[in-house]
Amino acid sequence: MKKFPDNFWWGAATSGPQSEGRFNKQHANVFDYWYEIEPEAFYNHVGPDTASNFYNSYKEDIRLMKEIGLNSVRTSIQWTRLIDEFETASLNEDGVRFYNDVIDEFILQGITPMIALHHFDLPVELYNKYGGWESKHVTDLFAKFAGRCFELFGDRVKHWFTFNEPMVIVDGQYLYQFHYPKIVNGKKAVQVAYNINLASAKAIKVFRMMGLGEKGAKIGIILNLTPSYPSSTSEEDIKAGKIADLWRNQMFLDTAVHGAFPSELVKLLKKDKVIWESTPEEEKIIKDNTIDILGVNFYHPSRVKAPDISPDSLQDWMPDRYYDDYDMPGRRMNVDKGWEIFPKALYDIALNIRDNYQNIEWFVAENGMGVSREERFLNDEGVIEDDYRINFIKEHLEWLHKGIEEGSNCRGYHLWTPIDCWSWSNAYRNRYGFISNNIHTQVKTIKKSGYWFKKVAEQNALPDDRNGGV
């Protein structure tokens, strides 16, 4: 048996915009709006309107989560649901009622609720008015919204996260066009990365001023870490790997944990004349408001090589002028999603946090395998036999366990996601859940992996296969 630390968090993660549905929401976020104007950008034209109906069925859904043994679950509060007017952060009554009910229900079922404050769901109004995360004013509005959440729910929620995967906002909205408004502008991307780091620090400042830490609560950020492995040991490829790591991982990780941007990154952005606008006061806010806890989303590694063309070629500035993605021959793939499967990276992440990030308290906040057409695997009892998911989780847990044994301070493992949910422009193409969801009837059924995970959680251990497994 591979035993995990006492009180390990065995859980799963979802988000407000991907699970609730748009019911009774007064405002549109950027995804609600994008779907309104371009439904064809979404797989099978399925938008966020219903999602997995959590707004209406949260009691039943949480009961199912309990049934598969989850002891902790992360979701997010939608800014567009809780707030009526963004400048003053006035409250929406139904939003307050809903999140109170959800949090109470989690606690009633013995599941620790963990709450993120932003999961790609910027109110579209703030984009139209101010340019969204391009604007420093929006960082203040976010801190106000965060303050409201702490006031309302801080008596019961003890694990808070400012942002989920801020790097995806930078990549999706400002570089690689997979999130609305699909801008390609390296200089803006750099400013947005800075502003989100600032917004996160401002929210943490409010949390500290309100004394939530003294009442036993913790605050952090959730980052998608993709260790960058160079394609060879040549000097050029190693250099490419280092720069990819600076941009993809350290830009948020160093700032969140150490309170400062990595100096090599700052040097490079200055040399390229794309450095962000900042003030000493803002830098001090970032310095003084580092995180208590880190959530790590890990799906796939990043493999890079030296770029095919020289970074000095005349071209608009993009971070990837310094590296090219590299497809390693013979790699194992989740073909449906197009992501490499490389569980050892979780061990590398664990040791990196131990050695370079103060061995800060952390947990796997998302890991998972999105597979399409899972009805292929239905058995006679109507249960999806997702052995591929069980193996995927098992392999990741094995490497994680090794990292913990070697001293990394990891407190838990959350799968993406408890119940199949809506996945942005991929909508319901790939399914990730322990529990399936028929999106036409909203009937939810536990998959084989759900029953398997329950046993792992109960035993707080990964059974050794040689002894029969579970």
Residues labelled catalytic: 165, 366
Q: At its nearest, how many Å lie between ligand BGP and the CB of residue 297?
A: 6
- In our burial notation (b when 16+ CB lie closer than 10 A, e otherwise), range 69-102 reads bbbbbbbbbbbbbbbeebeebeebebbbebbeeb
Contact 111, 73 (CB under 8 A): yes
Q: Which is nearer to ligand BGP, 15 or 250 (CB)?
A: 15
Q: What is the DSSP string of 281-301?
A: HHHHHHHH---SEEEEE-S--
Q: Which is nearer to ligand BGP, 52 or 164 (CB)?
A: 164
Measured distance CA(77)–CA(147) in Å, rounded: 13
**Strands, DSSP E only, in 152-258?**
159-164, 218-224, 228-230
Q: What is the DSSP string of 167-196?
A: HHHHHHHHTS--STT----HHHHHHHHHHH
Q: Which is nearer to ligand BGP, 255 or 297 (CB)?
A: 297
Q: At its nearest, how many Å lie between ligand BGP and the CB of residue 120?
A: 7
Q: Which is nearer to ligand BGP, 168 or 268 (CB)?
A: 168
Q: At its nearest, how many Å lie between ligand BGP and the CB of residue 223?
A: 10
Measured distance CA(293)–CA(118) in Å, rounded: 16
Q: Which is nearer to ligand BGP, 136 or 389 (CB)?
A: 389
Token duo for residue 94 = 């139904």
Contact 88, 128 (CB under 8 A): no
Q: At its nearest, how many Å lie between ligand BGP and the CB of residue 359?
A: 25
Q: Using CB under 6 A as the criterion, which residues of the chain lie in contact with ligand BGP when the complex forms? A: 15, 18, 164-165, 168, 224, 297, 337, 366, 370, 416, 423-424, 426, 430
Q: At its nearest, how many Å lie between ligand BGP and the CB of residue 300?
A: 10
The residue sitting closest to ligand BGP, measured at its beta carbon, is 423
- In our burial notation (b when 16+ CB lie closer than 10 A, e otherwise), range 269-283 reads beebebbbebeeebb
Measured distance CA(170)–CA(94) in Å, rounded: 31
